[in-house]
Amino acid sequence: MLTWSSTLQAQTLSTPPLDSNSWLIYVIPLSLVALLILFILQRTHWKHPKTLPPEQAQTPVIAHELETKETDAVAVATEPSDVEEILSDSESSWLTRLRSGLSKTRTQLSSSLGQLFTGKKVFNDELLEELHENLYRSDMGVETADRMVAALRKRFSGQATLPTWEEVSRSMREEITGIFSGPLPQLNKPASGPMVILVVGVNGVGKTTSIGKLAARFVSEGKSVLLCAGDTFRAAAIEQLSVWGDRLNVPVIKHQQGADPASVAFDGVKAAKARNVDVLLIDTAGRLHSKTELMAELAKIKRVIQKELPEAPHETWLVIDSTNGQNAVQQVKAFQELVQLTGLIVTKLDGTAKGGVIVGIHTKFHIPIRYIGVGEKAADLKEFLPREYADSLFN
Chain centroid to Cα 12, Å, comes to 93
The 10 Å Cβ neighbour count of residue 28 is 10
Percent of the chain with pLDDT over 70: 79
The span from the CA of 117 to the CA of 135, in Å, is 14
> Which residue blocks in 115-140 are alpha helix, DSSP H?
125-135
Q: Is pLDDT at 6 greater than 50 in this prediction? A: no
Q: Is pLDDT at 63 greater than 50 in this prediction? A: no
The predicted structure's pLDDT at residue 224: 97
Q: Pairing state of beta strands 381-383 and 315-321?
A: unpaired
Give the pLDDT band (50/70/90) at residue 51: very low
The predicted structure's pLDDT at residue 39: 63
Q: Is pLDDT at 70 greater than 60 in this prediction? A: no
Contact 150, 128 (CB under 8 A): no
The predicted structure's pLDDT at residue 79: 52
The predicted structure's pLDDT at residue 162: 87
Q: Is pLDDT at 150 greater than 80 in this prediction? A: yes
Higher pLDDT, 32 or 113: 113
Give the pLDDT band (50/70/90) at residue 183: confident
Q: Is pLDDT at 196 greater than 70 in this prediction? A: yes
Higher pLDDT, 84 or 30: 84
128-165 b/e (C-beta count within 10 Å ≥ 16 → b)? beebbebbeebbbbeebbebbbebbeebbeeeeebbeb
The predicted structure's pLDDT at residue 23: 52
Q: How much is the average pLDDT of 215-242?
A: 95
Q: Is pLDDT at 317 greater than 60 in this prediction? A: yes
The predicted structure's pLDDT at residue 369: 96
The 10 Å Cβ neighbour count of residue 351 is 15
Give the pLDDT band (50/70/90) at residue 244: very high
The predicted structure's pLDDT at residue 45: 45
Q: Pairing state of beta strands 195-200 and 369-373?
A: unpaired
Chain centroid to Cα 42, Å, comes to 50
Chain centroid to Cα 195, Å, comes to 22
Higher pLDDT, 38 or 312: 312
The predicted structure's pLDDT at residue 56: 36
Q: Is pLDDT at 184 greater than 90 in this prediction? A: no
Helix (H) / strand (E) element for 9: namely helix 4-14
The predicted structure's pLDDT at residue 15: 45
Higher pLDDT, 61 or 130: 130
- Beta bridge partners of residue 321, listed in sequence order: 347
Higher pLDDT, 272 or 11: 272
The span from the CA of 242 to the CA of 255, in Å, is 11
Q: What is the DSSP letter of 251?
A: -
Average pLDDT, the chain: 83
Give the pLDDT band (50/70/90) at residue 167: very high
The span from the CA of 198 to the CA of 315, in Å, is 6
Phi (first) and psi of residue 233, to 5 degrees: -80, -20
What Å distances lie between residue 141 and 154, 256, 354, 384, CA to CA? 20, 42, 11, 20
